[in-house]
A and B are shown apart, each in its own frame.
Chain A
Amino acid sequence: MSQELNRNFTVLKEKADPPPYFISYEVTEQDYRGISGTLGTISSTGGGKERAMDVSVRVGTTKLDNYHNVRGDRGQFTEGALLSVEDNANAIKRRLWQETDRAYRSAAERLIRIKTNTQVKVAAEDDSDDFSSEPPVRAEEALPTLKFDETGWTERIRKLSSHFQNYPDVLTSHVSVTAQTDIRYFVNSDGTRIQHGRGFARVVITASAKAADGTDLSTSETFEAVEASGLPKDDVLMAGIDRVSQDLTNLLRAREAEPFVGPAIFSGRAAGVFFHEIFGHRVEGHRQKDESEGQTFTKSVGTKVLPDFLSVMFDPTRKKVGNIDLNGWYDYDDEGVKGRPVLAVDKGVLNTFLMSRAPIKGFDHSNGHGRRQPGAEVVSRQSNLIVESSNSVPETRLRQMLIDEVKRQNKPYGLYFRDITGGFTTTSRAGLQAFKVIPVIVYRVYADGRPDELVRGADIVGTPLASFAKILATSDKLEVFNGYCGAESGSVPVSAVAPAILVSEIEIEKKAKSQDRPPLLPSPVPPESSRSSAQ
């Protein structure tokens, strides 16, 4: 890689017009196996090894280059071309050469367009550079190898997935396992040479059903670890299947939520997702410079953005919380910059943003958060988001505080959000500066001591600045949400770690739902009876 990089860089610098001032190659090698099953049968097995390459060629100067963002339009140069998985010099060098040529052409073409554009438009408010200088890094880490017991897991998936046969109300269900190693090789013309990697393993349990009124319902649970051998034992996974099935069965019978404004508690996992969506995406550095973005926090550095008992850290160096493996750690980001902890909010005050090598006003350097999925261009992204609180109380106390707040506001009930699958947030200026998160398990917590009641079909809606001001207190127990976050630079592994939070006011609205009837014919075989005759 470095030979071909140097050769291309040297010749292009000499002969090309405009010449490049920077080139980098990143090769991502992914080796994976997966098995998925339903009701005691295997529905797919697969695996393979791939190497994808991402070439970055910069022409112009660090002040203005081909990656310059023109009102929301980002340059796309890499295509994530597949490279030989074997260390064959002919095959690899040829492909690198072709991709460098292709990326160089589109880089040179875009630079000309940008130069024209900057001449006809008014000056941008943030006139920071397009690319930061970072010291070269050399690191050769030990690389992971994929370990996966195919036969063992095939049997386990059959056994685990057949456990759903105990739940006749579940219409479709799946249990899958995947194990993967992700190795990255990175070289650039500054002299950086890095190899590093890590493993990912995951069990995903999903179930769906359809209520009599047509509402589609689904529940899921996931378990993550660095290696497949670190995934939970069958009894834990079985308990997960029981929870997923029981939740779904309860949801089928639950009443539909009504639009509501009032106090609520987010469980630690739900609060993690809430912070990831509402806060995390708004401190991604590149959004502060892009004039099509809402720039909620761009000018808030040094000012209070959260209650002063909350701090928010993004820490890619943290691998575990308690005994739970975190999903969002890495040693180096996709620009070859070492991942480092970033204290974004310190005691309520905004400190800094998540930075890639694209500088913004006041922040000239990367803090190791330039990330991508192979085939996408790097932007600043979240890693492990960790919410810390100095106003924490035991969970029972937090619940009492919720009930007190409900009474104070003269509401019949408050809400408890146990699980949130994900959400959307619009950060662009043209859209509403609002968010919507999708809770799966929501309870009404009554002020008069009635038992909690599960409701379905609610979406949380709100605006970010207003929501943060309404956080009253947190619990003293951190919970972990592991997942994958999708944005401009593709899907990247992340975690969100938070205590449960109490908010004085949240708004929910009715979710859009399907008008289709449930299946017209009853199930061909009652699931209970099938166990005895299944092969």
Chain B
Amino acid sequence: MKFALSLGGIAITAGLVVSAQAPSADPVLQSMHDEMERSRKLMVSNLESPYFVEYLLDESDTFDVGATLGGIVTERRDQFRNLTVHVRVGDYKFDNTDYVGSGFPFGTRYDLERFPLDNDYMVLRRYLWLATDSAYKSAVEAISRKRAALRNLSVNEQINDFAHTEPVHLVRPFHKLTIDQKAWAGRVRALSALFAQYPGLRTSSVELNAGDGGYYLVNSEGTEIKVPDRLSYVRARASAQAPDGMTVRDYAIFQSIDVSGIPGDAEMTKAFKTTAENVVALSKAPMGEDYSGPVLFEGIAGPQILAEVLGKSFSLPRRPVLEPGRNAAFNSSELEGRIGSRVLPDSFDIVDDPTQKEWHGRPLFGSYEVDREGVVPKPLRLVEKGLLKGYLLSRQPVRGFEGSNGHGRMPGSYGASATGVSNLLVTSSGAVPVAELKRKLLEMIAARGKPYGIIVRKMDFPSSASVEEARRLLAGAQSGGSRPVSLPLLAYRVYPDGREELVRGLRFRGLNTRSFRDVVAAGDDTVAFDFLDSQAPFDLMGASGYVANATVVAPSLLIDDLELHPLEDELPKLPVVPPPELSSR
């Protein structure tokens, strides 16, 4: 493959850029480039011209098929292009973003409907022209409102609104979605029929989502990018009702960059049967009780808890400028202002490395060449010897840090990109065999005279909860004080004699970034956990318009002083009518 990455070579002078690039052969990039040149001249009355314009065009071709108990429920092929125009007025120090109304479309939105799929240069130009016009008018409105709001506020510290970066030129071909739809529909149907062997389940489903495409990114600093953005997955979910009415559930997911990377039927059958068996076992399991003490996060649960609690906290969203007395949705990070502080015992290091493509011969799911702001990432040391060394940064400066490290991965709030982990590699120099972790757990509970310890083997992250359930969890957690963490799906009591007992209906209380300082030991069983990162609470499945591929590689963890508490939901009664018989064929 031709390597077309070139860094630098283009001068930036006061926001006005002279692009020296040869015209691109790609009609999309060409039309973006040409319309961009013209957009610099945008001006309304005596207000300022844009200092930065960016076109981000996502292109996607997807095939979805979903089935339940052997019957297809949905089957859809969809192609679309989605254009996002970022226009910044003002300058890098102070612009129209980072205000509560930034990104809000003020005024005219032309009736453009969907962005054309055919590459007709003239029509593409027209669409870019009208979309830029709307974005510019909104930007001008936003900056004047932001200035007005700031008149009544005293600002302690002026942080720049946008960081400079090197222009990048990178063009890669997109992959065409090649998929045998009929064969896949048949596989999904057959996999969903597995659940018919478990009459105790209340709901079950299997879905395939195969997608190919990528994005084009052109900005007025000279960046010109076309890179693939690919994702396919097969996911199974099942739920049942315990005798007291509580809903219990489990899921399994296989993700891959290319649909051909999804494992064969044998592997999926095995996993989905385990899912069904887990749910049946949970529906019969006793309700968990209050617990405080050491918890062992074994296998996938180790990287899951790191991804959710620590991984998310390496992002520092910025509080937007607000009119006095107004509120805005905003979640600050627990790690803000804690550079140099301890987050883990000193045997731990954490690196986020989008450039690494493989780990022990296994492809890493979170790799990328350039982020969605056109910044080329480098390996990033986040934690060294247990101390916090850095954050995930986009082009939005945060206190003490200016300059992106290539982690602007998702659409964010208030005109900025949201950051997320790529391949988060967690290592410990003090790893011990996993069996040793369980022994240690038993020692600790024996020493404290506790009847049992807790092992968590799977967290509900990303969450498979319904939207209503997620809302209840958020509401419940707010009254509890700490930022909510997803529920443990598979939690076991482990008794002094080593016997294990599955329990249901527990949630963590007060599990946060500080909890990791109480890591007692790490296993030598490093596990890679692939997931779809999003901006939804608990990364709730299907709740976000954009997801980023990510991997966390981490060991099992034994953490002391955690609290678990039984869920206090009001439980519905069991149905009056028993379920219909399931026929075997």
Chain A residues with a Cβ under 8 A of chain B: 4, 7-8, 11-12, 15-16, 36-50, 82-98, 100-101, 104-105, 158, 171-172, 174, 206, 208, 210, 216, 218, 514-517, 519-521, 523-525, 527, 530, 533-535
Contact = CB atoms under 8 A, between A and B. Distances in A.
Contacts of A48: 74-76
Contacts of B25: none
Contacts of A174: 111, 113
Contact of A524 (B38, B73, B111, B119): B38
B273 interface: no
Interface in B28-66: 34-35, 38-39, 41-44
Contact of A100 (B69, B71, B129, B577): B577
Interface string B179-217: 000000000010011001000001100000000000000
Contacts of B136: 520
A218 B111 contact: yes
Interface of B: 34-35, 38-39, 41-44, 67-80, 107-108, 110-123, 125-126, 128-130, 133, 136-137, 189, 192-193, 196, 202-203, 572, 575-580, 582-583
A44 B196 CA distance: 37
A88 B116 contact: no
Contacts of B118: 40-42, 158, 535
Given A11-B578, A39-B120, A90-B69, 6 more contacts: A39-B126, A85-B75, A97-B580, A105-B572, A158-B118, A172-B113
B117 A533 contact: no
Nearest to A91: B71
Contacts of A517: 44, 137
Contacts of B203: 94, 98
> Which of A7, A101, A218: most chain B Cβ within 10 A?
A101
A156 to B, nearest CB: 14
B108 A216 contact: yes
A534 B122 CA distance: 7
Contacts of A104: 576
Nearest to B31: A524
Q: Which of A98, A208, A524 has the largest number of chain B CB atoms within 10 A?
A: A524
Contact of B113 (A43, A49, A85): A43
A41 B128 CA distance: 15
A331 to B, nearest CB: 27
Contacts, number: 179
Contact of B73 (A4, A42, A85, A93): A85
A41 B123 contact: yes
Contacts of A8: 577
Nearest to A86: B71
A29 to B, nearest CB: 12
Nearest to B127: A38
B117 to A, nearest CB: 5
B416 to A, nearest CB: 25
A11 B576 CA distance: 8
B76 A101 contact: no
Contact of A90 (B119, B575, B577, B582): B582
A83 B80 CA distance: 26
The listed residue with most B CB atoms (<10 A of its CB), out of A94, A218, A515, A516, is A94
- Interface secondary structure of A, over-half rule: mixed
A43 B114 contact: yes
A251 to B, nearest CB: 15
B125 A7 contact: no
Contacts of B73: 82-85, 91
B583 A89 contact: yes
Contacts of A44: 79-80, 113-114, 117
Nearest to A514: B108
B134 to A, nearest CB: 9
B185 to A, nearest CB: 10
22 contacts: A7-B577, A36-B114, A41-B116, A41-B118, A44-B80, A48-B74, A48-B76, A82-B74, A87-B71, A90-B70, A91-B67, A91-B71, A94-B579, A98-B203, A210-B110, A514-B108, A515-B107, A521-B39, A521-B129, A525-B122, A525-B125, A525-B126
Contacts of A97: 575, 577, 579-580
Nearest to B45: A517
A88 B126 contact: no
A40 B80 CA distance: 17
Contacts of A218: 111
A416 B177 CA distance: 54
A104 B112 CA distance: 44
B570 to A, nearest CB: 13
B120 A523 contact: no
Contacts of A49: 75
B576 A12 contact: yes
A524 B129 contact: yes
Contacts of B575: 97, 101
Contacts of A530: 122-123
The listed residue with most A CB atoms (<10 A of its CB), out of B34, B119, B122, B192, is B122
A97 B126 CA distance: 52
A98 B247 CA distance: 13
A40 B123 contact: yes
A89 to B, nearest CB: 6
Closest 9 CB pairs of A and B: A84-B71, A88-B71, A91-B71, A41-B118, A530-B122, A41-B116, A93-B580, A524-B125, A101-B575
A535 B577 contact: no
Contacts of B189: 86
A50 B576 CA distance: 29
B70 A210 contact: no
Nearest to A82: B73
B71 A90 contact: yes
Nearest to A90: B69
B576 A95 contact: no
Contacts of B137: 516-517, 520
Interface centre among B38, B42, B44, B130 (most CB of A within 10 A): B130
A523 to B, nearest CB: 7
Contacts of B35: 524
Contacts of B114: 36, 43-44
A210 B134 CA distance: 13
B365 to A, nearest CB: 29
Q: Which of B71, B115, B121, B137 has the most CB of A within 10 A?
A: B71
A8 B576 CA distance: 9
B71 A521 contact: no
A320 B228 CA distance: 51
A43 B117 contact: yes
A50 B116 CA distance: 26
B119 to A, nearest CB: 7
A91 B67 CA distance: 9
A94 B69 contact: yes
Contacts of A208: 110-111
A218 B113 CA distance: 14
Nearest to A16: B576
Given A90-B69, A206-B111, A524 B117 contact: no
Nearest to B136: A520
Contacts of A15: 576-577
A171 B131 CA distance: 12
A24 B189 CA distance: 28
Nearest to B108: A516
A44 B115 CA distance: 8
A98 B192 CA distance: 18
Contacts of B78: 46
Contacts of B202: 98
Q: Which of A49, A88, A172 has the most CB of B within 10 A?
A: A88
A516 B110 CA distance: 11
B70 A40 contact: no
Contact of B107 (A50, A514, A527): A514
A214 to B, nearest CB: 8
A534 B133 contact: no
Nearest to B580: A93
B417 to A, nearest CB: 26
Given A38-B113, A97-B580, A104-B576, A91 B69 contact: yes
A128 to B, nearest CB: 31
